[in-house]
Every structure is written in structure tokens, then in C-alpha cells.
Structure 1
């Protein structure tokens, strides 16, 4: 029994070494290969909605009523096809309206902009003037330059003369609101949080701790304001004033951007860093309507094709093998422990 236990341990170690080597080789190989293009997922939300409705009808209504509903539906579909064909022959622009739905879930670095830029490029290649882009936006803000880029990506839609609607169900604050204000129309749920038109920065400083420990930190710069505040060195009043001035300048840029997009705002009253819930935001003209994104989309199902667009970037070989490695290692470890405990009678 002791021999079996030792042998099982040896096999587990051997397997671990083999997996580590395979993982390292995959990392090296993936670094040499060109990144693979992502894929675009297109989902017609009308069909999803109709499928759920049909399932409920099937469960709740009797057969006679169901047959009648099905008959009416087929009539309506035939009529729509005929209308669309005639409209297309007369004028391509008179075909059925489309709502393109994108999702943006923002972190502090606005990482989702990498997929959103691809989605916007795809939509703009086919969108017409009578169509609409709806972005379901959730973000509490983050880095200035990152959210500046995200806002610029949304401006591409406005510049193409495609109506842009931003729907906020939970939060669009700070950089999130900077994105939202680009839209032709902002819709927010009653308890969504909006605003926070302000700038914040904080830097920990451990100079006194290092000084007590007799540790010196030297910082050399070329340029008077190359570094204003530091984490390790002794900060000066001049550095603090310059740092604060930089924040004020950034805040001024933020205010000018928001007021340029939404001139109806009283920017001096709003740009205090405060936030408001959806219904209060409507009173302060931060939003145009109070409604959930679901209600807004459902209200268009009858008159438009509502299409969800999502760009998916493939995972690299290293990332995929990394997950596989830890998963396999965990599985083998659990299996081995089970065999050992069974052999020893635990």
C-alpha cells in the first residue's frame, strides 16, 4: 500500500512538470504568432422575445386560441414581407428601422473600449440614417485618458449622423457620464446613479516611515514639474499646488466637454462631483427620460429589428492553456488525494 501511495505521488509530480513545460512552450509559441481576429456575434432580440412569448402562450392558452394566434401571425408576416419588398424596390432607405444594441461595462481602465470600437466599426459599415444605436452603459468612471477614448468612439456614431441613445440601468458616473453625455438621448432607470462631474486623485506617501528607518530616496528630474508629488520622497508645497492645479485644469476640460454635449445643463451647479438618482437626474437635465433599458427596447420590438452586437476577442493560447493547466492540476490532485485516503482507510 505504501508503494502505491509513493508511486501515485511520483506520477502527480511528473504530470505537474510536464504540464508546466507544455505551458511555457505554449507561451513562447503564442508570442511568435500573430493575434487571431475576433468574431462578431449578432442576435436578433425580437426573435428571443417572440420565442419566450410563444412558450408562455403555449403553456397558458388553449389549443383553439393558439391556432388563431398562429394564423394571425402568419398573415402579419406575409404582409410585412410584401411591404418590405415593395419598399425596397422604391427606395432602400424606406426599409424597416434597425436598433443596434451594444453593451459597455466599464472598469477603471475602460477596458471594454477595445471591443466597443470593433462593434461600432461593424455597425457603422451597415447603419442607415433611420437606424439607431443603443448603448447599455454601466460605469462608475476611471482614468481620464481611457474614458476620453471611449467617449471619442461614441462620437463616431454622432459624426455619422446615426441617432445614439445611452441607457443606464445602474450607474454612469464621472467618466461613465462623460461617455453618456455624447448621446442624442440619455435614458436612466429610476434609481440609476448619474453625475459625479469631478476629478479625484490620491497618492500615498511613506517618506516619514523611510526617514525613521534611515532610508534615503533620491529622485532626479529634468523639468520643473516632471514630478509634483511622489510616493517615496518628501513632497513640497510647490509640488502640491501644481498637482492641485492640474486637477483643476482637468476638471475644467471635463466641464467644457459635458456642457458642449448638453448645453441645457447648468454646468456650474452640476459639476460639483455630486451624484443624482435617475428621477432627480431628470429634474437636473442630466438625462432625458426615466425608464429601464428593457422597457425601451421592448417598446421598439413591433416597429424595428432590434439587434444585439457583441465582438468577442479570442483568448490567446497561453491564456487558454493556463486555465487548462490549473484545471487539470486541480483535478489530478483531488483524484490522487481520494485514492490515497481510500488506500489508507481514512
Structure 2
């Protein structure tokens, strides 16, 4: 038992030291980042080449020599005919958004959209591969506003959802003129939630006072440490209802075919059921859709890569790890069902 106690003490000191180092690095990165201009570059890759390489590699492995020679000859002939006919293929710009609680990917998305709108025309298309379970209202509001720029420019927007687009994620998805969902992707959650602990009774039990001074009747409604009142709870609930109405109105604006009162209950649906609710337009995966589009269009994948220092990379890794840890335990607490 004595050894166990010493070991636990050593472990606690090690964890404390590690956390302190991470906090220090994050602080340094934040201080260095202040006042510094944006540094990064837009990376563009042609997805047609990727699909072509997959096809050629399979041909080389499966076909015999004569079959391979005939296939290459047919492909070369088709390419020559297209070139001779002067056919210009439409462009498809492919973006990715992997959303966390703070919708951090918006920092890259905004620059990617700015770049493509400088060249894209209504004959082109933007495809967004979206994955997000939602998060902060203001953060996802900004992300959705970035996608709205595409619609305002008259460029067709298609949103592909392979896993999840719920809450703020669906706020983004609904802007697409066409929404494609995998059969078992999770969609919906058109609702608003806020929760916080209150330790006022614990502090009171130990004779600890906590004072909250405000100027303005509703500057603070619910607090963690202070004593919450019924009036404060009512105001807090009223604010949630107001946000929910704005959320419903936003979705209804871009998806007028929805029965908004039926789907804006905070519930989620799998893709199969979501199609019946008209939350999505068709079922399929992003791979299926892009592979098909590659046959008749030029596909370009855009990714804005910001240059980061070592401290910033360490800080970002720590922040991402904490976000994933929080989401993992939140999922467990909510008792999500898995197959």
C-alpha cells in the first residue's frame, strides 16, 4: 500500500508537470501569434489524377498484356477526340470541413472560398465534404455565412455528408442546393442546448461566499458559483428559445420544402429517414458522387494550409486532444447507441 501511494504521488506530479508544460507552450504560441499577419498558402490538387492512378493501377494488376494495350489505346483515342472537339469541362472545387466544438476549420474555409470565388462561374460547382456534430452558435453561424457567399455568387453548392451533420453542422449543410447523405449518416438536431454546473450549495456548506456584481439586470442570468434565481432561469430559457427560432428561420430559408416545426425538435435521423423528412435530397457517399463527377468534369481539391511554429503545432495538438476527450465523454454520458 505504501508503494502504491508513492507511485500515485509520483504519477500525479508527472501529470501536473506535463499539463504545466502544455499550458506554457500554448501561452507562448498565443503571445507570438498576436499582431502577426496571416501566413499560409492555398494547396490545390487535381482529383482526376488521383482517380486515374487508381484505375491504371487496377488495370495493370488485372488485365493481361493484350487487354491492357487495348484499354490504353481506347483511352488515348477518347482523349484525342475530346481535345479535337475542343470540349471544355466544367470545374468542380472540392472543400473539406471537419468541425469541432469551436468550428475551428472556418479559419481555412473562409480563405478557400475567397480563392475559388475569384475564378468560379455558375457553370462550375462547389462540393463540400462536411462532418460536424455542431458546437458554439456564433462559430457555426460564421461558418454557415461563409457557405452563403457561394450561393450568393450563383455557384452551385453540393454538400456531401458521410458521417454526421447535426445542429451547427446541419446549419451549414442546409445551405447546399443539393444535400447528399450516406444511408446511415446522422442528421438534424435542429435545436439549442446549454448546460452548466452550479456549486453554490457546496460553497455555502463550507462557509465560502461568492459575489457577482453586475450593471444591467440581465448581465448574468445563470452562474456556476452564485445562487441562481427563477427569474434568471426564465431569462436564460427565453434566450435559448430566441436562438432556436433564429435557427429554425435560417434552415427554413434555405430548405423551404421542410416542415420546419416537425424537424426542429432537436431530434436526429439517419440518412434513410432523413431523406423521407426532406432533410437530404439523395443518398450516397462523397466517394460515389466525386468519382462520377470526375468522368465529366475537372475536380480540384482546395486546402488552405497555414504555416505554424513548433509551439503553435504543439498547442493545436493539445487543444485537439482536449476537444476529442470532451466529445468522447460527452458521447458516453449521452449514451449514444452503436451498432
TM-score (norm 2): 0.82
Compared with structure 1, are the counterparts of its residues 259 and 161 closer, same or farther at alpha carbon in structure 2 (3 Å cutoff)? Answer: same
Per-residue CA distance 1:269-318 (angstroms, 9 max, x = gap): 11100010001000000000011111111111111011111110111253
Say if 1:27 and 1:184 are closer, same or farther in 2 by CA, change over 3 A. closer
Aligned residue pair count? 291
- Report the equivalent of 1:283: 276
Change (3 A) 1:122 1:272: same
Q: Deviations over 1:189-221 (max 9, x none)?
A: 000000000000001000000001100011110
Corresponding position of 2:139: 146
Select which of 66, 69, 73 maps to 1:67.
Answer: 69
Q: Which residues in structure 2 correspond to 1:288-307 (within 5 Å)?
A: 288-307=281-300
Aligned partners of 2:252 and 2:189: how far apart in 1?
A: 14
5+ residue gaps in structure 2?
1-24, 317-339
1:85-124 equivalence runs, <5 A? 95-124=88-117
Q: 1:321 to 1:209 in 2, by over 3 A?
A: closer
2: distance between equivalents of 1:62 and 1:112? 46
Q: What is the 5 A alignment of 1:1-346?
A: 30=32, 34-35=36-37, 37-84=39-86, 95-316=88-309, 318-319=311-312
How far is 1:70 from its partner?
Answer: 1.2
Query: In 2 relative to 1, CA 174–29 (structure 1 residues): closer, same or farther, beyond 3 Å?
Result: closer
Q: In 1, Cα distance between the equivalents of 2:161 and 2:44?
A: 22
CA distance in 2, matches of 1:117, 1:304: 24
Deviation string for 1:158-186 (max 9, x for gaps)? 00000000000000000000000011010
Q: Report how far residue 65 of structure 1 moved.
A: 1.1
SS of equivalent residue, structure 1 residue 224: coil
Query: How far has the Cα of 1:30 moved from its partner?
Result: 4.7
Contact 2:29 2:315 in 1 (8 A): no
- Return closer, same or farther for 1:110/1:299 CA change in 2, 3 Å cut-off: same
Name the CA distance, whole Å, in 2 between partners of 1:42 and 1:139: 23
1:110 is displaced (CA, Å) by 0.4
- Provide the C-alpha distance between the structure 1 equivalents of 2:119 and 2:152, rounded to a whole number of angstroms: 15
> Do 2:165 and 2:187's aligned partners in 1 also have CA atoms closer than 8 Å?
yes
Cα 1:249/1:157, change in 2 over 3 Å: same
CA shift for structure 1 position 37: 2.2
List runs of 5+ in structure 1 lacking aligned partners: 1-22, 88-94, 324-346
Deviations 1:112-148 (A, max 9, x none): 0000001111111111111000000000000100000
For 1:13, the equivalent position in structure 2 comes to none
1:332 equivalent in structure 2: none
Deviation larger for 115-124 or 64-73: 64-73
Determine the C-alpha separation between the residues in 2 that align with 1:189 and 1:322.
Answer: 34
Partner Cα distance (1:198, 1:33) in 2: 37
Shift of 1:322: 8.3
**Aligned partners of 2:279, 2:38: CA distance in 1, in Å?**
41
**Deviation per CA, 1:48-85, whole angstroms, max 9, x where unpaired?**
1111111111111111111111111111222222223x
Rg larger in structure: 1
